[in-house]
C-alpha cells in the first residue's frame, strides 16, 4: 500500500522507520520516473550492502570470463581459431594470480558506493602487478619449456590486462554514480568554501565528494597563493580571501567555511575565523594529521572551531634550555593540581626530565581523573597524589619533611569573586593562610623556588578575593626579603584564562545550549584573556628567569569586551545574537570591576628578554611589619564579623576599595567608625598574641 496509511502500517510492522517508509512517501510527492527510479535505487542501497567476499568473487569471476573475451578480441571474434581447452586452464591460472594480488592489496575491501581515488589506485596496482606476473610466467615457460598451458600469448595478456582494468574501474564507478544519482536530491546541501587549495584542501574536497551523505557541496576554494587565485582546479574556482564579503556569500549561497591548511599561524587563523563568523558562516576545521583515524581523515572529525581558536595568538617562544635545566631531576610539588591552571602546569611538567611530581589538592574526584589521565598518557612519569589542605599546618609540615620538594608551584586558591564576597573569612583563611604556610615551610625546608600564581584582580582590588590575592603577593615578597632566606620566591600575575572552571566561557556555552538568554553583567565590562596552555607556559618561563622577589606580569594582549565574547560564542554555535539567542545585562555583581588592570598605582614595570613577560617593580618596599599584622588577622579570623574582615583587608591593602554595597568602605572615609582604628588593631593584635603566638 502506498500512501500515509501504508507508511504507518510499515512502521508498526517493523517497529522502526525504514527506508521503505521514506520511499513510499516520497514516491507520492514525486510521481516522475526519475524520482521513482531514484527512490528505488536508494531503497536498495540503504537496505543492502555487498559483503567483501562477494565483491572478491565478482572481481575473480570477471577476470576469468574476460580472459575468453581477450581471446575473442585477439582472433576477431572467430571462435574456430580459439583452443578452448588450453584457454580454460590459462584463464584459471590468470584468475589465481589476480586473486592472490587482490588478497594482498585488499582491492575488494572498500565500500563500492564510496569508491575513492585510493580504491581505484588499488585496482590499478592489482591488475598491473598481476599482468606483469603473467608475463614473467609466460617468458619463463617459453625459455624453460614448461608446456603450452603456461605459455600464454603476450597479446592475450595485454588485451586481458586492459579489459579487466576497464571492467573493474567501470564496475566501481557505475555503482558510485548510481549511488550519487540516488542521493542527488535526497537532502538539502550546504554550499561550502574550503580555505586552502593545497594538499589538505584537496583531501577535504575528495572526502566531501566521495560521500553524498555529507550534506555539503564544494563551491570553491579560498587561498592566499596569488598564483592559484582566479584559476580553476578540478572545475572549482580558487578565490582571493579578500573577496569574502556579505555580497560574495549571498551570491553563492555559502553557509560554511572549512579551514584546511596545515601550517596556519594562530593569529592568521583567528582573523579568518572572526571574519567568517561576522559574515554568519559556520566554521569547521580539519584536525592535525596525527589525530586522523588510522592515518585517514573522516568526515566526523571535522569540528566546529572553539573560542580558543578565535582568541588565540602566535605561539609563545620559550627558553626551553633554561626551563629544562631548572627542572632537571627535581622533585616538584604543584598545589591546586586538580584545577584548571594546576593540572595544565602538571601536563607541561611531564615533558621534562623530572625526578618526581607531587600533586596536591583537596578535590577528590578531579584528582582521581587527573591521576588516570597521567597514568594513561605519561606512564613513565613518577607521580605522587596527595589529598591535602594547604592550610593544615601539621599535614603540610609532614609533606615537606618526608618528600622534600625542591620547586613549588602554588596554584591552590579560592577564586570566584561573588562567592568570596559572601565568605570573606574563607578567602583569607585559604588564600592568605595557605600561601603564608607554604611560603614559611618552603623557606624552612630549603625549597629552591616557590612560584605563586596570582591574578589581575589583585591590582587595585575592589573585592575580597582580589584583596586576599594582593595580601598573598605581599606575604611572598616579605618572605623573599627576610634576612638569610635562600628560597627564590616568585610571583606570576595574569588575567582570566579561557575555559577555566567557572569562567564565563563554560557558563555562556551552557546558556546557549539551553536556548538562552546569555547573561552579561554590563555592556562595557571587559577582561584580559589567555588560553590555559599559554598562561602555564609563561608561568614555567617566569619561574626560571627570576632570582626571587619579582612579580612577573604577562602580556595578555588587548582586553576583550564580554558582550563581544558572548556575541561571538553565539555565532560560533551557528546562531544569530538577538534573534536566536538573546543577551541580557544583569548589572555588575558585588565587588566586580568594570575593567581589570595588570599594574598597581604603586608599581612600574620593566621588560625582560621575553616580550610576553614584564617585571612589576614596587615604588615603595613592602613594610616588614605587615607579616605580623597578617599573622594577627589569621589568628583571630573567625572571631571577627564580615565587615571587620573587609576593613582589616583595607588596612593591609591601602588601594582596596570595595564596590560591594553590603560593606562600608573604611578606606574611603578615615573618620568612619567602620574602619579598623588603631585601638581596634591593637585589640586584634592582643587577641592574636593570647590565642596563638606568631611563629616566623
356: left (phi over 0), alpha (psi -120 to 50) or beta: beta
Report the distance separating Cα 139 and Cα 151, nearest Å: 7
Beta strands across the sheet bearing 449-455: 383-387, 356-361, 331-335, 407-410, 449-455, 488-494, 551-554, 613-618, 603-607
Q: Which of 231, 230, 239, 204 has its CA nearest to residue 218?
A: 204
Q: Pairing state of beta strands 232-233 and 331-335?
A: unpaired
Given a contact cutoff of 8 angstroms between Cβ atoms, the answer to whether 511 and 442 are in contact is: no
> Cα separation of 439 and 433, whole Å?
10
What is the pLDDT, as a whole number, of residue 393? Answer: 93
In order, the DSSP letters of 165-177 are HHHHHHHHHHHHH
| Helix 154-183 and helix 33-47, axial crossing angle in degrees, nearest 10 | 110
Which residues does residue 454 pair with via DSSP β-bridges, in sequence order? 493
At residue 607, the pLDDT reads 79
Peptide bond into 63 cis (omega under 30): no
The rounded Cα 227 to chain-centroid distance in angstroms is 33
Radius of gyration of the chain (CA): 36
Rounded CA-CA distance 402/680 in Å is 41
Identify the helix (H) or strand (E) that includes residue 584.
strand 583-585
The rounded distance, in Å, linking the Cα atoms of 363 and 353 is 27
3-state secondary structure of 377: helix
Helices (H), 445-489: 464-481
Q: Rounded to whole angstroms, what are the CA distances from 545 to 292, 328, 491, 571?
A: 38, 15, 12, 41
Q: How many CA atoms lie within 13 A of 245 on its CB side?
A: 5
**Pairing between strand 529-531 and 449-455?**
unpaired
CB contact set of 178 (below 8 Å; sequence gap of 6+) = 41, 45, 113
Grid cell locating 482: 627576610
User: What is the rounded CA–CA span in Å between residue 406 and residue 397?
Assistant: 14
Q: Cα(472)–Cα(453) distance, rounded to whole angstroms?
A: 10
DSSP 203: H
Nearest to 417 by CA among 468, 469, 461, 464: 464
Cα–Cα distance between 309 and 533 in angstroms, integer? 13
- 79 vs 169: CA distance, rounded Å: 28
Dihedral sign for Cα 50, 55, 61, 65, please.
Answer: positive
Enumerate the β-bridge partners of residue 607.
614
Cα separation, 314 vs 624, whole angstroms: 41
Containing 335, the helix (H) or strand (E) segment is strand 331-335
What is the β-pairing status of strands 496-498 and 613-618?
unpaired
Instruction: Give 10-residue mean pLDDT values along the chain (696 residues).
Output: 35 37 41 56 54 75 84 76 76 83 72 61 82 86 78 83 84 70 59 84 77 74 85 83 86 85 76 83 75 57 72 68 88 93 91 92 93 88 92 94 94 91 94 95 94 90 92 91 90 80 78 88 85 84 83 81 86 82 88 76 73 74 79 90 91 87 62 43 51 47
Q: What are phi and psi of 213, to 5 degrees?
A: -80, 0
Residue 539 grid cell: 608561568
Half-sphere exposure of 555 (CA within 13 A, CB side): 13
The angle at the Cα of 283, spanning 277 to 289, to the nearest 5 degrees, equals: 145
> What stretches of 378-516 show up as alpha helix (H) in DSSP?
393-403, 417-422, 424-426, 434-444, 464-481, 504-513
Cell numbers placing 179 = 549511488
pTM of structure: 0.65
CB-count exposure of residue 228 (10 Å: 0-12, 13-18, 19+): middle
Distance CA 40, CA 23 (A): 7
Q: How many CB atoms lie within 10 A of CB 298?
A: 12
What is the C-alpha to C-alpha distance for residues 45 and 532, in angstroms, rounded to an integer?
48
Q: What is the pLDDT of residue 17?
A: 38
DSSP output for 596-642: --SS-TTEEEEE-SSTTEEEEEESSPPPTTHHHHHHHHHHTGGGS-H
Are the C-beta atoms of 381 and 421 separated by less than 8 Å?
no
Amino acid at each position: 500500500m502506498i500512501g500515509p496509511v501504508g507508511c504507518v502500517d510499515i512502521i508498526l510492522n517493523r517497529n522502526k522507520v525504514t527506508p521503505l517508509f521514506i520511499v513510499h512517501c516520497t514516491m507520492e510527492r514525486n510521481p516522475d520516473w526519475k524520482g521513482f527510479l531514484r527512490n528505488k535505487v536508494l531503497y536498495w542501497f540503504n537496505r543492502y550492502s555487498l559483503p567483501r567476499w562477494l565483491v572478491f568473487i565478482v572481481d575473480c569471476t570477471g577476470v576469468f570470463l574476460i580472459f575468453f573475451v581477450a581471446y575473442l578480441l585477439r582472433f576477431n571474434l572467430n571462435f574456430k581459431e580459439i583452443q578452448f581447452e588450453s584457454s580454460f586452464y590459462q584463464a584459471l591460472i590468470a584468475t589465481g594470480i589476480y586473486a592472490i594480488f587482490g588478497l594482498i592489496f585488499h582491492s575488494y575491501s572498500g565500500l563500492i558506493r564510496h569508491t575513492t581515488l585510493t580504491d581505484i589506485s588499488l585496482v590499478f596496482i592489482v591488475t598491473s602487478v598481476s599482468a606483469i606476473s603473467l608475463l614473467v610466467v609466460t617468458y619463463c615457460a617459453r625459455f624453460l619449456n614448461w608446456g603450452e598451458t603456461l605459455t600464454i600469448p603476450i597479446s592475450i595478456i595485454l588485451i586481458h590486462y586492459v579489459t579487466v582494468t576497464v571492467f573493474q574501474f567501470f564496475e566501481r564507478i557505475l555503482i558510485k554514480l548510481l549511488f550519487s544519482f540516488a542521493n542527488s536530491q535526497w537532502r538539502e546541501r550546504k554550499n561550502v568554501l574550503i580555505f586552502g587549495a593545497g594538499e589538505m584542501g584537496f583531501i577535504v574536497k575528495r572526502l566531501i565528494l566521495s560521500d553524498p551523505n555529507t550534506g555539503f557541496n564544494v563551491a570553491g576554494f579560498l587561498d592566499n597563493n596569488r598564483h592559484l587565485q582566479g584559476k580553476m582546479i578540478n572545475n572549482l574556482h580558487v578565490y582571493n580571501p579578500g573577496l569574502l564579503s556579505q555580497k560574495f556569500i549571498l551570491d553563492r549561497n555559502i553557509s560554511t567555511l572549512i579551514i584546511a591548511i596545515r601550517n596556519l599561524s594562530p593569529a592568521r587563523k583567528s582573523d579568518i575565523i572572526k571574519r567568517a563568523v561576522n559574515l554568519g558562516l559556520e566554521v569547521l576545521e580539519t584536525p592535525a594529521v596525527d589525530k586522523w583515524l588510522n592515518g585517514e581523515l573522516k568526515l566526523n572529525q571535522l569540528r566546529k572551531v572553539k573560542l580558543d581558536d578565535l582568541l588565540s595568538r602566535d605561539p609563545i617562544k620559550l627558553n626551553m634550555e633554561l626551563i629544562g635545566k631548572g627542572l632537571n631531576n627535581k622533585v616538584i610539588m604543584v598545589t591546586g593540581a586538580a584545577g584548571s591552571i594546576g593540572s595544565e602546569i602538571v601536563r607541561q611538567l611531564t615533558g621534562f626530565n623530572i625526578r618526581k611530581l607531587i600533586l596536591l589538592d583537596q578535590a577528590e574526584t578531579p584528582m582521581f581523573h587527573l591521576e588516570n589521565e597521567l597514568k594513561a598518557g605519561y606512564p613513565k612519569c613518577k607521580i605522587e597524589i596527595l589529598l591535602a589542605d594547604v592550610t593544615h599546618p601539621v599535614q603540610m609540615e609532614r609533606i615537606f619533611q618526608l618528600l622534600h620538594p625542591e620547586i613549588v608551584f602554588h596554584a591552590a586558591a579560592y577564586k570566584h569573586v561573588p562567592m568570596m564576597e559572601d565568605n570573606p573569612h574563607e578567602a583569607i583563611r585559604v588564600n592568605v593562610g595557605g600561601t603564608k604556610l607554604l611560603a614559611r615551610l618552603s623557606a624552612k625546608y630549603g625549597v629552591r623556588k616557590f612560584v605563586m600564581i596570582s591574578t589581575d584582580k589583585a591590582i587595585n582590588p575592589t573585592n575580597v578575593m582580589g584583596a586576599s590575592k594582593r595580601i598573598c603577593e605581599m606575604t611572598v615578597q616579605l618572605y623573599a626579603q627576610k634576612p638569610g632566606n635562600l628560597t627564590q620566591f616568585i610571583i606570576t600575575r595574569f588575567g582570566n584564562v579561557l575555559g577555566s572552571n567557572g569562567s564565563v566561557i563554560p557558563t555562556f556555552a551552557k546558556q546557549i545550549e539551553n536556548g538562552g538568554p546569555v547573561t552579561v553583567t554590563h555592556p562595557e565590562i571587559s577582561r584580559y584573556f589567555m588560553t590555559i596552555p599559554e598562561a602555564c607556559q609563561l608561568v614555567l618561563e617566569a619561574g626560571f628567569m627570576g632570582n626571587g622577589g619579582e612579580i612577573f606580569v604577562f602580556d595578555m594582549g588587548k582586553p576583550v569586551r564580554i558582550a563581544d565574547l558572548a556575541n561571538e560564542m553565539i555565532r560560533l554555535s551557528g546562531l544569530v545574537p538577538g534573534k536566536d539567542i538573546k543577551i541580557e545585562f544583569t548589572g555588575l555583581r558585588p565587588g566586580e570591576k568594570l575593567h581589570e588592570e595588570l599594574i598597581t598605582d604603586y608599581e612600574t614595570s620593566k621588560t625582560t628578554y621575553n616580550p610576553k613577560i614584564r617585571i612589576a617593580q614596587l615604588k615603595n618596599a613592602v613594610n616588614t611589619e605587615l607579616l605580623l599584622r597578617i599573622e594577627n588577622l589569621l589568628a583571630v579570623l573567625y572571631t571577627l564579623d564580615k565587615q571587620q574582615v573587609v576593613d582589616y583587608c583595607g588596612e593591609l591593602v591601602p588601594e582596596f576599595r570595595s564596590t560591594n554595597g553590603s560593606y562600608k568602605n573604611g578606606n574611603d572615609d578615615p573618620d568612619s567608625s567602620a574602619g579598623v582604628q588603631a585601638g581596634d588593631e591593637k585589640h586584634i593584635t592582643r587577641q592574636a598574641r593570647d590565642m596563638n603566638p606568631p611563629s616566623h
